[in-house]
Amino acid sequence: MTARRALIVVAIGLALFAAAWLRPGAQAKDPFSDVMLAFATRGDVIQVVQASGALRPTNLVAVGSQASGRITSLRVKTGQAVRKGELLALIDSLPQENDIKTAEAALADARAQKVQKQAALIYAEAVLARQKAALAQNATSKDAYESAKSSVDVNRAQLESLDAQIAQAEVKVKTAKVNLDYTRIVAPMDGVILLVVAQEGQTLNAVQSAPTVVVLGQIDTMRVRAEISEADVAKVRVGMTASFSILGDPSRRWSGTLATVDPAPDSIRSDAVITSNSATSSSSSSSSSSSSAVYYYGYFDVPNPDGLLKTYMTAQVSIHLGEVKNVVLAPTAALSPMRDDGSRTVDVATSGGKLESRKVLVGLDDKVHFEARDGLKEGERVVIGRRDPALKSNFSGPPGGF
């Protein structure tokens, strides 16, 4: 046989071998080709309750005016940091200054009247003493003595009345000075001006209510108000760790400790017992509240030294119910529905090419992975879903369905 014929025979043989290998069914069938598998691994699981929240300063004050009048000077602007007692605005103080002068004049008049009445009392007491001595010697009448005694009593009563008038006048002076102080609007605490409501030249009317001039907040520490659903609030406890991210920086997280959880939802404000509405309003309110979701508010504080957190930012809150580290975990999708006895199972791919239904003891579950406390070992493969036969190709995928 020539070399050329030998090469032709070898080529034909290789072609026949390849055709036989590629023929459907010639390869060994993957016993798990119709399922999707995932490995049980080792890692950490954190079980959380998700909630939507909003940020606000720990202290937020609407600084108003107790004095009516025109704003003559506005000393601050939005975003400015101020200290407690710092002057924020001035109101025209001429009416209050005039009130002080009037009150001080009334006080001076009452004191002058008292001096005059004290002199009159001294004279009346001297007359009474002479009348008393003359009556003892029968040198005056009983009527003259009684008249002198009455004059002393009247002068003493008038002095007591003047003392009361003086006290009243002193109060009016103090009140007038306080009202003058109200024309100087000062910061009640350290903070940052979040909003300037009034403007220079505006006239304020503080007769019925105190009009707001500026809104002041302490933003070095921010308070998170988390809206916890009715379904989750029973799991939440004061003292749990809570963390959040903001829309502008989702990769960064801030953490704090849950300080309080409201015992009632905010909708209690519309309860008929509180609002004393009519029976019709009560029934409509009850109907409305029963058909809407119920939320409870939880609060926790976080430091804000860099000022990145702004007032009323939206916070994506996670309240940590529990955490385990370095445990065997598997995808939650592998778990069967809970049975009547509370047990759960997973389908495990065995080395013999079969699926084994195995009962597992589930620990924490973060809805992505669960802690397998018993029944599953690291490295074992579990079924997390079934493949759609219509999407399968003629060739098997790699082991594990990936």
The CATH number of the domain where 297 resides is what? 2.40.30.170
Domain boundary among 293, 319, 345: 319
Instruction: Give the domain-ending residue among 297, 319, 341.
Output: 319
Sign of CA dihedral 114, 116, 119, 120: negative
Condensed to tens digits (0 to 9), the pLDDT of residues 334-362 reads: 999 988 888 999 999 988 888 999 999 99
Report pLDDT for 41: 94
The whole-number pLDDT of residue 28 equals: 53
What mean pLDDT is reported for the chain?
A: 86
E-strand ranges in 40-198 read 41-64, 69-74, 81-82, 87-91, 184-186, 191-196
Q: Is residue 275 part of a domain?
A: yes
Question: Are residue 258 and residue 301 in the same domain, yes or no?
Answer: yes
Pairing type for strands 314-331 and 369-374 reads: antiparallel
Q: pLDDT at residue 288 above 50?
A: no
- 9 — pLDDT class (breaks 50, 70, 90): low
> Could you tell me the pLDDT band of residue 32, with boundaries at 50, 70 and 90?
confident
Residue 110 shares a structural domain with residue 164: yes
Pair 206, 347 in one domain:
no
Mean pLDDT check: name the lowest of 235-239, 266-270, 359-363: 266-270
- In this structure, the answer to whether residues 42 and 89 fall within a common structural domain is no
Does 331 map to a domain?
Answer: yes
184 and 236 both lie in a single domain: no
Q: pLDDT tens for residues 131-158?
A: 889 988 888 889 988 999 999 999 999 9
Of the CA atoms within 13 Å of residue 177, those in its CB half-sphere come to 7
Q: How confident is the model at residue 34 (pLDDT cuts 50, 70, 90)?
A: confident
Residues of the domain holding 116: 61-212
Last residue of a domain, one of 177, 195, 212: 212
φ, ψ of residue 354 to 5 degrees: the values are: -120, 160
65 with 158, same domain? yes
Q: pLDDT tens digits, residue range 196-231?
A: 999 999 999 988 788 999 999 999 999 999 999 999
Q: How many structural domains is the chain composed of?
A: 3
Q: What percent of the chain has pLDDT over 90?
A: 67
Question: In this structure, are 237 and 207 located in the same domain?
Answer: no
pLDDT above 60 for 6: no
Q: Mark whether 332 and 314 lie in a shared domain.
A: no
Which of 70-74, 77-81, 93-97, 396-400 has the least mean pLDDT?
A: 396-400
Residue 312 within any structural domain of the chain: yes
